């Protein structure tokens, strides 16, 4: 942990410019002219603006939303679904505004994980980082569970574990191709997800308005029969856990900043686009799912596979298309491909940065010459075997166990992000800087950050409320085990590193970690000859289309 001690031994202030020549020169070393490889983590800066923008809009959206929303609808009803998506959406927006300030200024390896260790203390970064890893191995296991179940519903000649092993190998191999392949695949998969959701939203409106033959207009009939709530407040509390899992991933743009060519452009744009993701993807899904599918529908209560529990499947079948579930399953399959791909990517980068911080084994620091963290990818992908729990417990039960773990981890991580942003603001002002110097700022900060911290701590404690009446020991442990484990992890790591105290505001390092955009460099300074310069003046429609495609 020597690196933490060295970074806080003084506070040599510099002029109030956002990118210093000293920092920029680190990226222009003889071994890395142009900064194509991040000098701190060893990963390649290969993500373009369009990659990150599309990931902000629809990345990480997997069958958890399409299928898990069915479980949430059955447990809480359509009103609970909207309340859950709406409240968690406000919190997610708040967290993203806090994250935008620090990530845009410090697009360093590890994002909020590393910054938490810098602005508070190493043990804080340790706890937030490993909780974030838990979020993504939980998502990964869920998506492997879903994709295996979908294929098994089409053909049971291959066992579930056979489908899993096939995709486990394929995804592990694909991740070895590097960040450029990941970014390009996520761009197209995210675009398909947006188009698919838009198509369903249009269908839902037409269906509810009586546009399907032999079906009269029914509008929001299911809000009256069987009703807006299925289990009262208990149902609302349960939905919060599901919704936090659905929203997990909006903060992942902080990790992509390290591998972005233009973080000062890409990250603020991605932060702003999260609002449209909340409104279109999440709120749109909550409204249309509750409008077209009753919460007491038998298809939501169980079935041969988890894929049959999607509200989209119920709606299409009620509209008279008996074979429509195959179309929805195909759409779910596409979202699985994207979610698994993203989970391995984010989980492996989390472990990579934890290793660089001294919070994980050093072997995970290794990257190839092309910037691929091989061992971190293999380690993350191994947790996909958790999905095989569905062989003995069933897909739905396996899903519930993992969702509870990832839900509380999400609240812990978001609280950590908010507190990190609040500490940064305090140190920034204390050391003589002004808010106007920040490349990205939110008018309500730092109060917004304090709000995000308090509400996420509150939700972390109340998210398992439903297990108390009647008391369920198994679900109680599943819902709350990570809270004491996080406290013990913090104390244990602080004892191991002999750093219990938080860094004083005056000694927090506010200079390290800033870098200029890669595509802002001259052609002589960059080794990436395939990348198109993105800062040329406009030269007609052809150039504008080409510029948009290349990610500016």
Mean pLDDT over the full length of the chain: 80
| pLDDT at position 500 | 87
- Residues in a beta bridge with 468: 471
Question: Per the domain annotation, does 98 fall within a domain?
Answer: yes
Kindly state whether residue 64 falls inside one of the protein's structural domains.
yes
CA dihedral 70, 72, 468, 478 (to 10 degrees): 70
- Residue 550 forms part of a structural domain: no
In a domain, 492, yes or no: yes
Token pair of 528 as six digits: 């990436």
Tens-place pLDDT, residues 354-408:
999 999 999 999 999 888 999 999 999 999 988 887 666 555 565 566 667 777 8
**pLDDT score for 13:** 41
71: containing domain: 2-516
Query: Rounded CA gap, 356 and 440, in Å?
Result: 27
Give the predicted TM-score (pTM) of the model: 0.82
Q: How many beta carbons lie within 10 A of that of residue 491, not counting itself?
A: 13
Per-residue confidence (pLDDT) for residue 29, from 0 to 100: 38
pLDDT band at 64 (very low <50, low <70, confident <90, very high): confident
**240 falls within a domain:** yes
Domain harbouring 334, CATH code: 1.20.1740.10
Residue 296's alpha-carbon distances to 70, 215, 228, 283, in angstroms, are 10, 20, 11, 21
Q: How many domains does the chain have?
A: 1
Share of the chain above pLDDT 70, in %: 82
Q: Which of 95, 392, 125, 373 is nearest to 252 (CA)?
A: 95
* 332 part of a folded domain: yes
**Higher per-residue pLDDT: 491 or 8:** 491
In sequence order, which residues have a C-beta less than 8 Å from that of residue 279 and are 6 or more positions away? none
Three-state DSSP at 468 gives strand
Task: Report the 10 Å Cβ neighbour count for 135.
Answer: 27
How far apart are alpha carbons 25 and 326 in whole angstroms? 55
Q: How far out from the chain centre does Cα 118 lie? A: 22
pLDDT digits (tens, 9 = 90+) for 271-318: 888 888 888 989 999 999 999 999 988 877 654 444 447 889 888 888
Distance CA 136, CA 4 (A): 26
The CA angle 23-422-403, to the nearest 5 degrees, is: 105
- Residue 352: inside a domain: yes
DSSP structure string for 118-168:
HHT-HHHHHHHHHHHHHHHHHHHHHHHHHHHHHHHHH-TTS-HHHHHHHHH
| pLDDT per residue as tens digits for the range 485-543 | 999 999 999 999 898 899 999 989 888 776 555 544 444 443 343 343 444 444 455 55
Tokens of 494: 């602080």
Let me know: does 246 contact 87? Beta carbons within 8 Å.
no
Cross-strand pairs, 260? 47
Does residue 249 sit within a domain?
yes
Among 63-67, 100-104, 358-362, the range with the most confident prediction by mean pLDDT is: 358-362
Give the span between the Cα atoms of 407 and 462, in whole angstroms.
11
Listed range (36-50, 69-83, 103-117, 154-168) with the worst mean pLDDT: 36-50
Please give the Cα distance from 34 to 523 (Å, whole number). 9
Asked if residues 314 and 78 have their Cβ atoms less than 8 Å apart, the reply is: no
């Amino acid at each position: 942990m020597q690196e933490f001690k060295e970074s806080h031994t003084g506070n040599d202030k510099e002029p109030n410019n956002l990118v210093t020549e000293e920092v920029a020169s680190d990226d222009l070393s003889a071994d890395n002219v142009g900064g194509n490889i991040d000098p701190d983590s060893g990963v390649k800066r290969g993500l373009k603006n369009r990659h990150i923008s599309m990931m902000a809009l629809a990345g990480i959206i997997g069958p958890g939303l399409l299928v898990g929303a069915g479980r949430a609808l059955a447990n809480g009803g359509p009103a609970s679904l909207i309340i859950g998506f709406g409240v968690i959406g406000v919190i997610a927006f708040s967290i993203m505004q806090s994250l935008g300030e620090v990530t845009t200024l410090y697009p360093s390896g590890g994002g909020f994980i590393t910054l938490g260790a810098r602005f508070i203390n190493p043990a804080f970064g340790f706890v937030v980082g490993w909780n974030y890893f838990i979020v993504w191995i939980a998502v990964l296991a869920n998506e492997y569970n879903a994709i295996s179940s979908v294929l098994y519903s089409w053909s049971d000649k291959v066992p579930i574990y056979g489908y899993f092993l096939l995709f486990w190998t394929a995804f592990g191999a694909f991740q070895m191709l590097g960040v450029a392949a990941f970014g390009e695949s996520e761009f197209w998969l995210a675009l398909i997800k947006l188009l698919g959701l838009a198509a369903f939203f249009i269908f839902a409106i037409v269906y509810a308005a009586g546009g399907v033959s032999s079906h009269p207009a029914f509008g929001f009939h299911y809000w009256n029969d069987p009703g807006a709530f299925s289990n009262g407040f208990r149902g609302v509390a349960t939905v919060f856990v599901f919704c936090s899992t659905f929203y997990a991933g909006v903060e992942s743009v902080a990790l992509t900043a390290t591998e972005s060519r233009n973080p000062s452009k890409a990250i603020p744009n991605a932060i702003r686009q999260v609002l449209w993701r909340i409104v279109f993807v999440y709120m749109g899904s909550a409204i249309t799912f509750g409008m077209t599918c009753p919460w007491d529908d038998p298809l939501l209560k169980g079935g041969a596979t988890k894929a049959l529990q999607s509200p989209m499947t119920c709606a299409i079948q009620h509209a008279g298309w008996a074979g429509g579930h195959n179309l929805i399953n195909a759409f779910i399959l596409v979202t699985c491909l994207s979610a698994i791909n993203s989970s391995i990517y984010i989980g492996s980068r989390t472990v990579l940065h934890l290793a660089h911080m001294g919070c994980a084994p050093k072997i995970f620091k290794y990257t190839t010459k092309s910037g691929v963290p091989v061992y971190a990818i293999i380690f993350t992908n191994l947790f996909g075997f958790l999905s095989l729990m569905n062989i003995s417990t069933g897909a739905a039960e396996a899903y519930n166990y993992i969702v509870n773990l990832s839900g509380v981890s999400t609240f812990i991580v978001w609280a950590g992000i908010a507190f990190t942003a609040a500490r940064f603001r305090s140190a920034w002002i204390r050391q003589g800087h002004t808010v106007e110097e920040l490349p990205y700022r939110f008018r309500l900060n730092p109060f917004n950050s304090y709000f995000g911290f308090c509400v996420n701590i509150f939700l972390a404690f109340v998210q398992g409320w439903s297990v108390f009446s009647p008391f369920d020991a198994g679900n109680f442990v599943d819902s709350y085990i990570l809270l004491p484990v996080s406290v013990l992890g913090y104390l244990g790591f602080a004892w191991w590193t002999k750093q219990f105290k938080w860094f004083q505001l005056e000694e927090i390092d506010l200079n390290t970690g800033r870098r200029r955009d890669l595509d802002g460099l001259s052609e002589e300074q960059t080794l990436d000859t395939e990348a198109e310069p993105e800062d040329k003046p406009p030269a007609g429609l052809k150039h504008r289309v080409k510029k948009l495609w290349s990610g500016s």
